[in-house]
Amino acid sequence: MTGKKIIVAVDGHSSCGKSTLSQQLAAKLGYTYIDSGAMYRAVTLYALKNGLILSGKPDKNKLIAHLPSISITFRYNPAEQKSDTLLNGENVEKAIREPIVSNHVSPVAAIKEVRNAMVKIQQKLGRNKGIVMDGRDIGTVVYPHAELKIFMTASPDIRARRRYDELKNKGIEVTYDEIRQNVEQRDHIDQNRETSPLKKADDAVVLDNSHMTPDEQLQWAIKKVNEIITKDDY
Ligand code: DC
């Protein structure tokens, strides 16, 4: 690899392995990895803890009023070789992966003011480049000038199965049907929300990993990065 640093934006459907690929790619390149979904999850956890979600719906105005009191940061965890998410200084890495958060995060992430606040933090994190960030709007809104944009997808069945296995391995009790329903529900909300809906940037390359191993997709992404950083005019 050369010393030139780029921004890699990884977007796509939920549970298609964006974070696995992004983490491995960042480690390989010596870049920072940021999981932008963790930030929306942390805001959701805050809202749940502070009674700002009632009957499954966020109280939009109250949550907006609370935004200045919500600090989201990341701290590198050497044991896991990745960053933990901190909410107002507290490590919430495990709590934000619980189904209760997954089930409430989409309507929170659909609030324009929440997105504006998160995008500001995300843009700051990438100002020196050398970053791989995954999410839904990274190539379209957060870094529209990212040198490499990857749009990942896989079939809903395969994504639900992967998510189910991942949660089971972590000791979180769930059923496959519950997960499958959650995957479909989140796709629908992510793609149809008014602010920054999930869509492929025109200049993104598509990676359908339904039938790829994690190593195959990593090699695919490294090749894409190499094509960019070895270009004469880069
Ligand atoms: O990637 P994830 O499943 O952890 O994301 C959690 C939720 O946050 C999901 O409903 C989509 C939303 N999200 C978003 O709207 N924009 C991002 N950049 C990242 C995630």
Residue that wins the pLDDT comparison between 231 and 73: 73
Distance 115 CA to ligand 1 centre (A): 10
pTM to 2 decimal places: 0.91
The pLDDT confidence band at residue 114, using thresholds 50, 70 and 90, is very high
Best probe residue, ligand 1, of 13, 33, 36 (max atoms within 8 Å of C-beta): 36
Q: Does residue 37 carry a pLDDT above 60?
A: yes
Matching CATH number, 7-229, of 3.40.50.300, 3.40.50.150, 3.90.1150.10, 3.40.50.10490? 3.40.50.300
Residues with CB under 6 A from ligand 1: 14, 36-37, 40-41, 105-106, 109, 135-138, 186, 190
Q: Does residue 65 carry a pLDDT above 90?
A: yes
pLDDT of amino acid 81: 81
Q: Does residue 219 carry a pLDDT above 60?
A: yes
The pLDDT confidence band at residue 4, using thresholds 50, 70 and 90, is confident
Domain boundaries, the chain: 7-229
Tell me the per-residue pLDDT of 148-204, one tens digit each, with 9 for 90 and over.
999 999 999 999 999 899 889 989 889 999 999 989 988 998 899 888 899 999 999
Distance 35 CA to ligand 1 centre (A): 9
**Residue 43, number of CB atoms within 10 A of its CB:** 28
pLDDT over 70 percentage in the chain: 97
Q: Does residue 126 carry a pLDDT above 90?
A: yes
Residue nearest to atom 10 of ligand 1 (CA): 106
Atom of ligand 1 nearest to the CA of 138: 18
Q: Of 73, 2, 3, 10, which Cα lies nearest the Cα of 204?
A: 10
The pLDDT confidence band at residue 128, using thresholds 50, 70 and 90, is very high
**Residue 196, number of CB atoms within 10 A of its CB:** 20
pLDDT of amino acid 15: 85
pLDDT of amino acid 152: 97
pLDDT of amino acid 232: 60
